[in-house]
Structure 1
Amino acid sequence: MTSAAPQDAQPRLRAGVIGLGWAGQQHVAAYAADPTVDLVALSAMEEHLLEQFGEQHQVPGRYQDWKQMIAEAELDIVSIATPTFLHEPMAIHALGAGVNVITEKPMAQDGEAAGRMVEAARKAGRVLDVSFNHRRRGDVAALKTVVDSGVLGKLYYAKTGWIRRQGIPGLGTWFTKAQSSGGGAMMDIGIHMLDMTLHLMGEPEVTAASASTHAEFGPLGRGGSGFGISQVEEGAPFEVEDLATAFLRLDGGGTLLLESSWAQWIPNDLCYVTLYGADGGATIEWGAPTGPKITVWTEVAGIPAELHPAVGEDGHHAAAVADFVAKVRSGDVTEHDGSLPHRRARVIDACYASAKAGTEVAVQA
């Protein structure tokens, strides 16, 4: 495997991708475009996808058996873009073989599984990362610059959410079965908003959660989207929530409201992050008919001011993969062992536990 030498002295990294659905295809494209990486292997159950993307990017190794790929392809790095319940066994196996790993979000179906992945990364001395692509949005990066500048002062309250008009991903697929997905809308898209907001706020610890979940659309066969429709299993039940809300307590006394919904009677999809600080407030919204927007409210020389920061390009999955490659190149595995996404998983665990118990639940340390 690649050693921790200066970047200009390091050989090219040998990369593989497991899973060739939409997310996996983004990882394939990112590796193929990276001049420091050789995309040498792909693994998927679907032969036509192996042929399509193998031919498109001239990938020599094509495997239906992912374990065979890990054993034979001599990989330095691998992306795991499979159903959530497969992340843990695949990551632990790859890490044990000396391969650095990035998975799609969520990290695993629960915090215990995520914790075992972190332990495996530490034991192997390899990088474990999770692709939170939405924090690489241009507007998120712009707002992070505003927060870090101190313009908003101390942040004490935030609201965030992702609400879809009709967006249950493949009714009757692994997405809507509790054992394979680990949860519904909060696990699937709420995790993105949680990650973005905590990232913007400077990573405060979440200490407790009070949450509720609802399933009003999925059990009736309503609210489905075309995403994942090819994976539908006849008679598969709808076992997860299509809406979740949570009140989260943060260390230092701050609070965060989180909502996520796959289907709702609203005119259009909407994502938002709103931050409240002692010296100013700010919001990001996208999905509305007016398109993405970022606004900051503060004072300049005692005069109320509304600011509209310049927004750069979105990074998408390519930026998440590039960050992963840079972490591997750095050789600093102690800072990149999956601990941060593991904390996200523990927060989601607490939300689901709270919704089940009907009371506030502490987030496990």
Structure 2
Amino acid sequence: MTDALQPDAAAQGSDRRLRVGVIGLGWAGQQHVAAYAADPTVDLAALSAMEDHLLAQFGDLHDVPGRYQDWQQMIAEAELDAVSIATPTFLHAPMAIAALEAGLHVITEKPMAENAESAARMVEAANRAGRVLDVSFNHRQRGDVTALKQVVDSGVLGTLYYAKTGWIRRQGIPGLGTWFTKAKSSGGGAMMDIGIHMLDMALHLMGEPEVTAASASTHAEFGPLGRGGSGFGISQVEEGVPFEVEDLATAFLRLEGGGTLLLESSWAQWIPHDLCYVTLYGADGGATIEWGGPDGPSITVWTEVAGMPAVLEPVVGEDGRHAAAVAGFLHKVRSDSWAEHNGALALRRAEVIDACYASAKAGAEVAIGA
């Protein structure tokens, strides 16, 4: 590790460039690599991946000096300040904890970990090390999400008491027979993979109310038959590897103060096209964002102006996605408030997902944080 900026030095705007690395060069890892490479305040100093061709491809593309198949060797030798972790879910906790204990700041891809227990150990490690722990919820960086958050914060909708959110795919079970569909390595199916994005967006838009209880149900109707992967026909599933997770999950979530949130997620379903949405119901107005259909993204607000019903169409800026998530992480690293960014919010998301799975297994509502 280099002589990392201390919070007070960071707050004073130190000119030293941060040395960063990326572990995992799948699609998500490639987004982190591109974000760092485009940032003039950092040096992309090291990459780690099992695939030689990806190390060569992205190492050459961005002139990265450190290239490692062994991520532990990278952490020990590359003299980094911060690292992105974009690997299978079950590896997030051991990698993040090792990096934090080595004095590095860490951002992982979502979900934070395969369960809340592992996520809690990550937060504990961040607190012990006094380093930033962040999780990349890149979809909250969408332009329409940002615009709707501004609407909510303006008070136009009044008190929010009910919301619905979901991500339903026409087809799209990732990696049939791979770690994605094995319970131990992924922690869960559609809810863990894409439902957590919608949970994060909805709670973010609603002002972070605490979830107090979950009542959920899960189903696996496509994956066990080899359906819903790369097309709606039967896919080749690795022999002897069962489909261990759900391909559809629904949840009724109770919120502090009496509010409620409905959450649904599915990797494959008999619908005409993918659908992602968040709908908010307030005392003074309602709003919805939706994307995935043939008409493209939309955002609409219904309220009343001067006693007359009104439909508002907020101006939507560009999507930030992974680049914005990485930029936010770097801003936290350069701030004077590392202790405030210890992964606690992402841990709360993990606790909700755990409660949903526990509820589905028990067939009963499960309290959270009781």
Task: Indicate the TM-score class for this superposition, using the shorter chain for normalisation.
Answer: over 0.9
What runs of 5+ residues in structure 1 fail to find an aligned partner? Answer: 227-231
Q: Distance in 1 between matches of 2:317 and 2:69?
A: 39
2:85 partner amino acid: I
**How many residues end up aligned between the 2 structures?**
360
Tell me if 1:107 matches 2:125: no
> Are 1:80 and 2:99 counterparts?
no
| Partner residue in 1 for 2:67 | 62
The answer on whether the counterparts of 1:215 and 1:242 sit within 8 Å (CA) in structure 2 is yes
Task: State the match for 1:179 in structure 2.
Answer: 184
Letter in 1 for 2:369: Q
Alignment-derived partner of residue 26 in structure 1 = 31
Q: Give 1:22 shift.
A: 0.1
The residue aligned with 1:142 is: 147
SS in 1 for 2:265: strand
> In 2, distance between residues paired with 1:101 and 1:13?
13
Measure the CA separation in 2 of the matches of 1:331 and 1:265. Answer: 50
CA RMSD of aligned residues (A): 1.0
Pairwise CA distance, 1:2: 2.0
Match of residue 313 from structure 1: 318
Distance, in Å, in 1 between the alignment partners of 2:226 and 2:252 is 29
Residue 221 in 1 paired to residue 226 in 2? yes
Q: Is the 8 A contact 2:13 2:334 kept in 1?
A: no
Q: Secondary structure at the match of 1:224?
A: coil
Rounded to whole Å, the distance in 1 between the matches of 2:246 and 2:136 is 23
Corresponding residue for residue 40 of structure 1: 45
* SS of alignment partner, residue 351 of structure 1: helix
Counterpart code for 1:272? Y
Name the SS of the counterpart of 2:13 in structure 1: helix
Corresponding residue SS for 1:260? strand
The answer to whether the 8 A contact 1:218-1:238 is kept is: yes
* Selected match of 1:346 from 343, 351, 366: 351
For each residue in 1:280-317, what CA deviation from the matched residue of structure 2 results, as whole angstroms up to 9, or x when unmatched? 00000000111000000000000000010000000010
Report the equivalent of 1:360.
365
Which 10-residue stretch deviates more, 331-340 or 269-278? 331-340
Task: Give the C-alpha shift of residue 335 in structure 1.
Answer: 0.8
Alignment of structure 1 residues 94-173 onto 2, 5 Å: 94-173=99-178
8 Å CA contact retained: 1:101, 1:128: yes
Distance in 2, matches of 1:86 and 1:236, equals: 20
* Cα pair 1:81 1:103 within 8 Å, conserved: yes
The 3 A distance-change label for structure 1 pair 7 and 19 is farther
Paired residue for 1:259?
264
Q: Distance in 1 between matches of 2:21 and 2:32?
A: 9
- Residues 44 and 7 (structure 1 numbering): CA distance in 2 closer, same or farther, change over 3 Å? farther
**Equivalent position SS for 2:334:** helix
**Cα drift, residue 7 of structure 1:** 4.8
Partner residue, 1:249: 254
What is the letter of the counterpart of residue 237 of structure 1? P
> Residue 287 of structure 1 is aligned with which of 264, 289, 292?
292
User: Structure 2: where are the runs of 5+ without partners?
Assistant: 232-236
Name the structure 1 match of 2:234: none
Between the aligned partners of 1:138 and 1:264, the Cα distance in structure 2 is: 27
Secondary structure of residue in 2 paired with 1:330: coil
TM-score by length of 2: 0.96
Paired with 1:235 and 1:49, the residues of 2 have a C-alpha distance of 29
Instruction: Tell me what 1:229 maps to.
Output: none
Q: Which residue of 1 aligns with 2:216?
A: 211
- For 2:349, the aligned partner's letter is R
Aligned amino acid, residue 154 of structure 2: S
* Superposed displacement of residue 90, structure 1: 0.2
Q: Which residue of 2 aligns with 1:2?
A: 5
Residues 231-280 of structure 1: CA deviation (Å, up to 9, x unaligned): x8553221000000000000000000000000000000000000000000
Q: Which runs of 4+ in 1 moved over 3 A?
A: 232-235
